[in-house]
Amino acid sequence: MSRNNDGWIMTAQCPGRLGTVDAVTGFLRENGCYITEQNSFDDRESGRFFIRTEFRPQTGFDSQAFEAGFADRAAAFDMTFGLTAPGHRVPVVIMVSRTDHCLNDLLYRYRTGQLAVEICAVVSNHRDLESLVEWHGLPYHHLPVTADTRAQQEAQVWQIVQQTGAELVILARYMQVLSDDMCRKLAGRAINIHHSLLPGFKGAKPYHQAWAKGVKLVGATAHYINEELDEGPIIAQSVEPVTHADYPDDLIEKGRDIERVTLARAVSWHVERRVFLYDNRTVVFGR
């Protein structure tokens, strides 16, 4: 899941038509850029084309001149594009409640350089994890919330996101439902993680419900948030088999393992510009 983070990344999308790949690769060749990784996808259902290219300039590189030059070519294809510099670390805010497994995993990967992120702040509606976050030298914002104070609390959260310049908000087992207004503000830039059990079990103690039904798979889903609870565009999913010998506590432990790996994978793909969001679906060039 770690990345070298030593190349430029170019992402683009446009209506699917003849010459879209060449529009990107030809321009890179003309500008003396060596392609180190490339993924593309033409979605025949939506008629959209998506491409992600990592490249390494062979000579001096002026990113502003490069973008200005490519803009002319992109216009001919009605193409939108983005360019990410080597070493870019995406500023993030993490939201969490009391459960620490996903937060712990993200902090470890951040500390060891496995994730190309810069954690600007951790926000929680409880104080339980304050000492853990402060041990990592990171700001911790305790913002309690009730049904009556949700609007004011979310206004504080939004202020932190704006002040830190966070490009991504990670809900690392934040056990509060965000308002529709907050979901709209964070559309395409907030990732949530939750358990995935078949059949679905909602409410209290889902793993106990799953055990009572003899479930043979536990899993996790990481997705962008939207106004529909736990139904946003999916980025990553994982499953693991369980047996009759696994009791509720075993299911919970395995579920937590899957949750932290799946969340880290989704965050990694997002910050590496591997995820394209279009029409409430995702195109994911995973690795």
Query: Does an H or E element contain 132, and which?
Result: helix 130-135
Paired strand residues for 274: none
Single-letter code of the amino acid located at 199:
P
Q: Which residues are catalytic?
A: 230
| HEC string for 223-264 | EECCCCCCCCCEEEEEEEECCCCCCHHHHHHHHHHHHHHHHH
Q: Is 80 exposed, middle or buried, given 0-12, 13-18 or 19+ CB atoms closer than 10 A?
A: exposed
Single-letter code of the amino acid located at 80:
T
Q: Give the contacts of 102 (CB within 8 A, at least 6 positions apart).
A: 96, 172, 173, 193, 259, 260, 263
207 φψ region: left (φ > 0), alpha (ψ -120 to 50), beta (else): alpha
Q: Which of 152, 154, 101, 165 is nearest to 123 (CA)?
A: 154
Distance CA 14, CA 24 (A): 12
Task: Say if CB 94 and CB 170 are below 8 A apart.
Answer: yes
